[in-house]
Amino acid sequence: MKLAIIDLCNTLADINSVLRSRGLDPTGHAIPAGIPLWLDHSLYLSAEPINPSIQFVTKLAANGYSLIYLTARPKETTEASAKWLKDQNLPQGKLVHSDGVPKGELILKYTQDHLVTDLVYMEDSPREIQSYLNICDKITATKKLVIVRQEYNAELDADEEILFSV
């Protein structure tokens, strides 16, 4: 099985620009204004797509990859997240909320529970990228880390990058 696991916020959806438009100074990997902000569905629905990332995911699906959209967003945002994905005409995939569990742990469990031969992980958050790198040697599949470049992750190494800057 060929599998791509894709983050949403600031990987596919430009949430940082929405936060900036609301007068917040986001870091892209921390909660700048507390939990109530993250329950505001308009935050997600008004985010512009990061087009190079959208194109990359579309190509992955066309090349036979199954997709999991793995997000740290609260479960209460499932409907808004699914609507945003559909509005962007992204390929079908399973929407999974990490519920505070490091994404690396979830990726390891999923690859162990399924016959994954090729894995692509697409992320922007340094914390989540590190959680993936911490378990990477336990995954037997061929792996590719794709980092969507933001100002806060410029120092991280990737197998492939998608350049994005505001």
Mean pLDDT is lowest, of 8-17, 130-139, 156-165, for: 156-165
pLDDT bracket for residue 166 (50, 70, 90): very low
Q: Does the pLDDT of residue 69 top 90, yes or no?
A: yes
Q: What is the mean pLDDT of residues 11-29?
A: 82
- Which one is predicted more confidently, 101 or 159? 101
At 37-63, the pLDDT tens digits run: 777 778 899 999 999 999 999 999 999
DSSP string, 33-77: S-HHHHT-HHHHHTPEE-HHHHHHHHHHHHTT-EEEEEE-S-GGG
pLDDT bracket for residue 29 (50, 70, 90): very low
Backbone CA torsion sign across 49, 94, 144, 31: positive
The mean predicted confidence, pLDDT, of the chain is 88
Cα 15 from chain centroid?
A: 12
CATH 3.40.50.1000 fits 2-163, yes or no: yes
Q: Does the pLDDT of residue 155 top 70, yes or no?
A: yes
Rounded distance, CA 166 to CA 156, Å?
18
Residue 154's pLDDT is what?
81
- Rounded to two decimals, the pTM is 0.89
Q: Does the pLDDT of residue 164 top 70, yes or no?
A: no
Q: Which helix (H) or strand (E) element contains residue 20?
A: helix 15-21
**Phi and psi at residue 119, to the nearest 5°:** -125, 130
CB 144 within 8 A of CB 119: yes
- Which one is predicted more confidently, 86 or 40? 86
Residue 162's pLDDT is what?
62
Rounded distance, CA 144 to CA 122, Å?
9
